[in-house]
């Protein structure tokens, strides 16, 4: 399905990057933040993206963004651009946004393909919604169109989430899909709809953004709006969690949680995670007054004073309340730049202005994402200093951050060990 990617990157025999990384890993203290070079070196960035992150699946959007046949969206990660289309038979396809003629980007943002055809704006080569080359303008009659389609990429849809792989040998994704069904099926995310999207660029390494994403130790100092509403990190969190279990049972709902995320994923399988977390007592949703601002989602019989988390891969994170949900999709751009695409969803049949007001739905994660941008950028600036040294994670509250970095180091070590001899030299 996936063409062999181009291996003609400029060879760099003088950078024994494998050795450098192996030495750094040998010096890395356990349960401490990473050594400087992991956050700042462009060579390590290149290595980790190509050899670690690109083995994982990327959430590029939600199927409601391309509900109609002929619609497409574009998602960028690293130097890659991905087109995702809805074909006439309803199928969703993913492909590289690189024309096979001269290499131009074909689509620029989302849109609707006129005549169900993607036409390269440069020389008008045209492709079907599945990426197959339909018309190679001005090429000879006997031109081999079959082998000049857009590079097709593996794609899976789960509870509406569109997951794409750029790898030649993608990780097994079935368990991660069962996981989202088991927890987000209750909210019927498959039929939810996207109502807003922000793209926020952090001037920071992607790993610093993710270390921030997976711990709530910073929520108290940095996110007062969040902390007023959520039960995460409260002294009585354990008790609130127990009450939530009972509340959920009383509603006769079945949420399947699991933890096959970083370090816990079986070899060759995409990592995933699902959890249920209580809101503060009396709070029903993450809104300015704690009351729902949109219709109840899925088959929930009542607002349950809880939210559900789902992760797939290291960099795709999701949250849903009973009335709305949010997608956090992190996209590294370079060693010191990362884009967070934050996407809000509500029940699929909700009407704006009647059933919900967009700004009431987006309020919390607008202010919280803006605060995280500042935090993560200040973290990156500090890490650049000669006086930065790895610091100790606070356990247990930063345990997911600790797991994330430990997973990263193990994945890097494995990548170094499996380098072809010439590259590892």
Using the minimum distance from each CB to its own copies, give the nearer residue, 69 or 388. Answer: 388
- HSE at residue 59, side-chain half, CA atoms within 13 A, is 31
Q: Least distance in Å: CB of 57 to its own copies?
A: 16
Phi-psi region of 390 (alpha: psi -120 to 50; beta: other; left: phi over 0): beta
Peptide bond into 396 cis (omega under 30): yes
Q: Least distance in Å: CB of 419 to its own copies?
A: 17
Q: Are 308 and 173 in contact (CB under 8 A)?
A: no
Using the minimum distance from each CB to its own copies, give the nearer residue, 93 or 321. Answer: 93
Distance CA 124, CA 179 (A): 42
Bridge-based pairing state of the strands 258-260 and 193-202: unpaired
Using the minimum distance from each CB to its own copies, give the nearer residue, 25 or 69. Answer: 25
Q: Least distance in Å: CB of 210 to its own copies?
A: 13
Q: Tell me the C-alpha to C-alpha distance, in Å, between residue 64 and each of 26, 160, 358, 398.
A: 46, 7, 17, 34
Q: Are 193 and 344 in contact (CB under 8 A)?
A: no
Q: Least distance in Å: CB of 368 to its own copies?
A: 14
Using the minimum distance from each CB to its own copies, give the nearer residue, 82 or 361. Answer: 82
| Other CB atoms within 10 A of residue 399 CB | 14
Distance CA 344, CA 327 (A): 7
Q: Least distance in Å: CB of 369 to its own copies?
A: 16
> Per the structure block, which two tokens stand in for 251?
């509603």
Using the minimum distance from each CB to its own copies, give the nearer residue, 89 or 114. Answer: 114
Q: Which residues contact 35 (CB under 8 A, 6 or more apart)?
A: 24, 27, 28, 390
Q: Least distance in Å: CB of 315 to its own copies?
A: 18
Q: Least distance in Å: CB of 37 to its own copies?
A: 4
Beta strand segments in 171-266, E? 193-202, 258-260
Using the minimum distance from each CB to its own copies, give the nearer residue, 35 or 362. Answer: 35
Q: Are 84 and 166 in contact (CB under 8 A)?
A: no
Using the minimum distance from each CB to its own copies, give the nearer residue, 130 or 188. Answer: 130
């Amino acid at each position: 399905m996936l063409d062999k990617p181009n291996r003609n990157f400029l060879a760099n025999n003088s950078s024994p990057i494998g050795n450098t990384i192996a030495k750094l890993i040998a010096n890395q203290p356990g349960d401490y933040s990473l050594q400087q070079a992991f956050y700042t070196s462009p060579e390590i960035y290149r290595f980790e993206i190509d050899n670690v992150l690109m083995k994982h699946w990327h959430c590029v959007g939600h199927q409601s963004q391309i509900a109609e046949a002929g619609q497409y969206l574009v998602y960028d990660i690293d130097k890659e651009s991905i087109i995702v289309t809805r074909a006439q038979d309803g199928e969703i396809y993913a492909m590289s946004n690189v024309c096979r003629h001269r290499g131009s980007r074909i689509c620029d943002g989302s849109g609707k393909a006129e005549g169900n055809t993607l036409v390269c704006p440069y020389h008008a080569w045209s492709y079907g919604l599945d990426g197959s080359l339909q018309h190679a303008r001005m090429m000879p009659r006997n031109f081999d169109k079959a082998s000049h389609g857009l590079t097709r990429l593996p794609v899976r849809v789960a509870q509406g989430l569109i997951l794409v792989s750029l790898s030649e040998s993608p990780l097994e994704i079935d368990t991660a899909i069962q996981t989202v069904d088991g927890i987000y099926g209750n909210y019927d995310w498959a039929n939810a709809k996207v109502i807003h999207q922000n793209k926020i660029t952090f001037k920071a390494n992607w790993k610093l953004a993710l270390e921030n994403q997976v711990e709530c130790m910073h929520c108290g100092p940095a996110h007062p709006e969040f902390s007023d509403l959520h039960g995460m990190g409260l002294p009585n969190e354990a008790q609130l969690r127990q009450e939530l279990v009972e509340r959920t049972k009383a509603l006769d709902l079945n949420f399947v949680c699991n933890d096959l995320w970083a370090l816990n994923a079986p070899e060759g399988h995409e990592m995933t995670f699902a959890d249920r977390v209580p809101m503060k007592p009396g709070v029903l949703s993450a809104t300015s007054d704690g009351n729902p601002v949109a219709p109840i989602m899925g088959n929930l019989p009542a607002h349950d004073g809880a939210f559900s988390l789902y992760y797939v891969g290291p960099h795709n994170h999701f949250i849903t309340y009973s009335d709305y949900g949010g997608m956090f999709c992190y996209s590294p751009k370079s060693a010191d730049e990362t884009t967070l695409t934050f996407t809000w969803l509500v029940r699929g049949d909700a009407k704006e202005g009647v059933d919900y007001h967009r700004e009431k739905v987006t309020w919390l994660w607008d202010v919280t994402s803006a605060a995280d941008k500042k935090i993560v950028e200040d973290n990156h600036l500090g890490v650049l200093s000669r006086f930065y040294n790895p610091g100790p994670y606070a356990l247990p509250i930063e345990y997911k951050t600790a797991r994330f970095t430990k997973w990263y180091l193990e994945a890097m070590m494995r990548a170094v060990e499996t380098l072809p001899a010439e590259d590892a030299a």
